[in-house]
Structure 1
Amino acid sequence: MSAFALAVSAGATYVETDVHATRDGIAVISHDPDLTRLTGRDQRLLDLDLSDVRAVRLDGEHEIPTLDEALDAFPETRFNIDLKSDEAVAPAVRAIARVRATDRVLITSFDHRRRRRAVRALPGVATSASSRGIAAAMAAGLVPFPRLRRSLVRRALVGCGAVQVPERKGPVRIVTSARVAEWAALGVETHVWTVNDPTDMARLLAVGVHGIVTDRADLALEEVRRHIG
């Protein structure tokens, strides 16, 4: 919650987070499925009830918040939510509905079926492409016939308002000016993760990307302001 607060105080209107579920079916904010890296405790969140999770302190002071607590605490902020497990789908849907935040969240997941389950349960919610859709869109982008290429890319990204990707995956460069422009022509934004170097941020903004996922909202906001003049 402190990280969200710092980002919002710096001027961020969007934040990104990951969600897992507890044993008793509550959506909690966490990138990792377990507590090993952050606390040294070899316990999965899915094996703990919310009461157990509330007793955990990160860095000796920070609680792990529930999704609805985070949404409720920042009512003017838009949330990009990555569903990290199948078990997190229903609890996340309930939390979003409870806070009436459907119109200010974007739902995503690497897993296509998981993402689709959540999207179907939240009519009108924004969503970004899963790995399958991104791969299909990139493959379609290689088709040499423009009309067919656009049709295939549109089909691969149907229903998605964004593509959220790393700049590169191994030797493959995903984010190029041509690809960003092609997706944008179909109404699909390109968001790049995770970018913490201002030089990289400036270069990606020049390429035309619409969003940068970063641990350094302060630096990113400076670059965005500089870019838009």
Structure 2
Amino acid sequence: MTHPWFAGATTPRVLAHRGLVTAEDSHHGIVENSFAAVAAAHSAGAEYVESDCHRTADGVVVLFHDDDLSRVTGDPRKVAAVTARELELLMTDRGGLITLAQALDSFPTLKFNLDVKATDAAADVGAIVAPFGDRVLLTSFSDARRRAALDAATATGRGIRPATSGGRGTIGRVLAAVSARSERLVARALAGVDALQVPERQGRLRVVTPRLVAAAHRHGVEVHVWTVNDPGDMRRLVETGVDGIVTDRADVALATLR
């Protein structure tokens, strides 16, 4: 049975990577994973926003990619070392802080692809998204962290279990199983997974291949590729059968793939 996160949306899926920040927005100081960036993706017509979750010192889950603030705000402190109020002030002129709860409440028609970046955020992320499981996909490079968030969502008994994409361990096992041409191992590696979200290449290794896409599809699993900003690459990947494109330029992707 297809998870609701996948239902009723246009394919191929365009996932707005950390929202949408155009060159003009950037010129005005808007940054990724801000309220303004999520709003811009929504305004451009994106149905999915990919974002990241960290937890502040006072226990608020915020949409923020790095574990420290230096790249985005110039402040060297860790996200976990500042309060939500302190981070809100730092983000005031950068598009505004957006918490996970605010994102889900403020954009009720958006579906979110959430990467749990911090172990101490997993349980809180799960609890927050539990009532919105129909429009949330949880992922993480760490399968343990991903499962912790899923378990926390399920434990609340509210709504349905969020969709999920495999972490590095899962992806490694899938690639090994595809290479070994073992349908049994592919099935085992993909058990409980709704999507594989991968780069086209990892160093010299080509990750996205026709064999990988076909194997995933045989088991009802989608393949989404990150981070793709060139229209030609978008078209080429979709022609190979991938189901979704994670991109910094959701506006360009929507124009290209629609």
When normalised by structure 2's length, the TM-score is: 0.82
Q: How far, CA to CA, are the matches of 1:150 and 1:77 in structure 2? A: 35
Q: How far, CA to CA, are the matches of 1:36 and 1:61 in structure 2? A: 13
Q: How far, CA to CA, are the matches of 1:61 and 1:31 in structure 2? A: 15
Q: CA RMSD in A?
A: 1.2
What amino acid is the match of 1:131?
Answer: R
- 1:53-202 residue pairs with structure 2 within 5 A? 53-57=87-91, 60-97=93-130, 100-123=131-154, 124-144=161-181, 149-202=182-235
Contact 2:126 2:151 in 1 (8 A): no
- Residue 46 of structure 2, aligned match among 5, 8, 12: 12
Residue 33 of structure 1 corresponds to 67
- Residue 22 of structure 1, aligned match among 56, 65, 69: 56
Q: How far, CA to CA, are the matches of 2:98 and 2:164 in structure 1? A: 23
What amino acid is the match of 2:101?
Answer: D
- 1:61–1:39: structure 2 CA closer, same or farther, 3 Å change rule? closer
Taking every aligned residue pair, what percent have the same amino acid on both sides?
A: 46
The CA deviation at 1:85 is: 0.8
Segments of structure 2 that go 5 or more residues without pairing to the other structure are 1-34, 155-160
Q: Deviations over 1:95-132 (max 9, x none)?
A: 213xx211110000000111111111223210000100
Q: How far, CA to CA, are the matches of 2:86 and 2:135 in structure 1? A: 29
When normalised by structure 1's length, the TM-score is: 0.92
What amino acid is the match of 1:52?
Answer: E
3-state secondary structure, aligned to 1:56: helix
Contact 2:36 2:96 in 1 (8 A): no
The CA deviation at 1:138 is: 0.4
The CA deviation at 1:209 is: 0.5
Q: Deviations over 1:187-221 (max 9, x none)?
A: 11000000000010000000111010001111111
The CA deviation at 1:63 is: 1.9
Segments of structure 1 that go 5 or more residues without pairing to the other structure are none
What amino acid is the match of 1:56?
Answer: L
Contact 2:164 2:195 in 1 (8 A): yes
3-state secondary structure, aligned to 1:164: strand
Q: How far, CA to CA, are the matches of 2:44 and 2:98 in structure 1? A: 21
The CA deviation at 1:57 is: 2.2
3-state secondary structure, aligned to 1:122: helix
The CA deviation at 1:61 is: 4.1
3-state secondary structure, aligned to 2:43: helix
Q: How far, CA to CA, are the matches of 1:50 and 1:39 in structure 2? A: 14
More displaced 10-residue stretch of structure 1: 27-36 or 120-129: 120-129
The CA deviation at 1:8 is: 1.5
Q: How far, CA to CA, are the matches of 1:33 and 1:62 in structure 2? A: 19
Name which structure has the greater RCO, CA cutoff 8 Å, separation 6+: 2
The CA deviation at 1:223 is: 2.2
Contact 2:225 2:244 in 1 (8 A): yes
3-state secondary structure, aligned to 1:140: helix
- Residue 237 of structure 2, aligned match among 204, 222, 225: 204
The CA deviation at 1:91 is: 2.0
